[in-house]
Amino acid sequence: MSMARSLDSETLAGVIALRDWLVTTAARMEDSSEVLSGFLRRLIDLGLPIDRAVSAIEALHSEYAGIGRFWTREEGTVVRYLPHGDRRESIYQSSPFAYVHRTGEWLILDLTTTPDDLFPIVPELKEAGYRHYVTIPIRFTNGAENAISFATRAPEGFGTRELTILRIVLPSFALVTELRATSNRLDEVLRIYVGDDPHKAILSGTIQRGQVTRIRSAILFADMRDYTHISSRLSPESAVELLNTYFDCIVPPIEDEGGEVLKYLGDGACATRATTRVARRNRP
């Protein structure tokens, strides 16, 4: 409350409007990149000289560890999937994001006086003409460590007023980000384990005990020829790599034609493609 008193009435009204937008409109938007760009546009309208922003959000996914969104005034938002592995971990540990996660504090750098060797990204930021850089930790209630950074080319950088605005609105941004991330994780996990149509029905609340849905469909059973013989000569790691390559070949065509994989059976898969849907009935 004391932070809000330091703002003039017009700025405070704009800050409240931004918080309202985050917890109402932004929370219901489908595209997270649009949420970020909308958030940044509104901060700029409030007078923050933001020229670059980067967010990194942890993901519960077998193929990538997180999702990075990189925004600049020139290019808008670009999405990058952050890979698992030692190389990513090495880059992360020397980054400003790791620093704010360890300290739990905001990192505020005047790049005109920051030594190049403080973080590997500092020379890159200076070369691009940025003068001031802020990194803010975002910790979810489940302990997941995330963050967002802002950079500006404005000589005056981010002053007391601009930092105050960020301190007021960031908790709302973090809350909406967590709600969206949790919803996306639930959606993905349900889709993987129960299939596309059932997971939509579960999330919409239309599933009832004893409910039966009849469909007409084509069913596909596929497995790898001689897999037992082939895998007996492979290391466990090579066998898993072979299976991943095999499923990368057969699953996309199934999904491209409107089908879905119901179950993986070792080196095999059971898939279905509904042709018609018969009326849903409840068991008496």
pLDDT digits (tens, 9 = 90+) for 16-25: 999 999 999 9
Residue 124's pLDDT is 96
The pLDDT tens digits of the residues spanning 99-135 come to 999 999 999 999 999 999 999 999 999 999 999 999 9
Q: Supply the DSSP symbol for 141.
A: T
The closest of 149, 46, 158, 161 to 96, measured between CA atoms, is 149
Which of the four pLDDT bands, split at 50, 70 and 90, describes residue 89? confident
The pLDDT of residue 282 is above 60: no
| Domain 210-282, CATH number (from 3.90.550.10, 3.40.640.10, 3.30.420.40, 3.30.70.1230) | 3.30.70.1230
> What is each CA distance from 107 to 48, 54, 149, in whole angstroms?
17, 14, 9
Check whether 278 has a pLDDT greater than 60: no
CATH of 2-191, one of 3.30.450.80, 1.10.3720.10, 1.10.10.10, 2.60.40.10: 3.30.450.80
DSSP 273: E
At 276 the pLDDT is 60
Is 145 or 87 the better-scoring residue by pLDDT? 145
- What residues contact 13, with CB distance under 8 A and at least 6 apart? none
Whole-angstrom Cα Rg for the chain:
24
pLDDT at 257 (0 to 100): 87
Q: Which residue has the tokens 């002053």?
A: 159
Give me the DSSP letters along 210-272: TEEEEEEEEEEEEE-TTHHHHHTTS-HHHHHHHHHHHHHHHHHHHHHTT-EEEEEETTEEEEE
**What is the 8-class DSSP label of residue 23?**
I
Asked which of 67-71, 133-137, 234-238, 255-259 is least confident by mean pLDDT, the reply is 255-259
Question: What is the pLDDT of the chain when averaged over all its residues?
Answer: 88
Q: Encoding tokens for residue 265?
A: 């059976």
Selection from 16-20, 227-231, 238-242, 245-249 with the highest mean pLDDT: 16-20
Q: Is the pLDDT reported for residue 229 higher than 80?
A: yes
Q: Which residue has the tokens 């059973």?
A: 221
Domain limits, the chain: 2-191, 210-282
Give 2-14 pLDDT, tens digit per residue: 677 788 899 999 9
| pLDDT for 1 | 54
Give 25-58 pLDDT, tens digit per residue: 998 898 999 999 999 999 999 999 999 999 999 8
pLDDT tens digits along 159-217: 999 999 999 999 999 999 998 888 777 777 777 677 767 777 776 777 777 777 777 88
Mean pLDDT of 233-246: 91
- Rounded CA gap, 197 and 17, in Å? 38
pLDDT at 84 over 80: yes
pLDDT score of 23: 93
Strands (E), the chain: 52-58, 66-72, 76-82, 107-110, 132-139, 145-152, 211-223, 260-265, 268-282
Closest Cα to residue 95, out of 152, 137, 128? 137
Retrieve residue 48's tokens. Answer: 């923050």
Cα–Cα distance measured from residue 98 to residue 87, given in angstroms and rounded to the nearest whole number: 14
Burial class (CB in 10 A: 0-12, 13-18, 19+), 213: middle
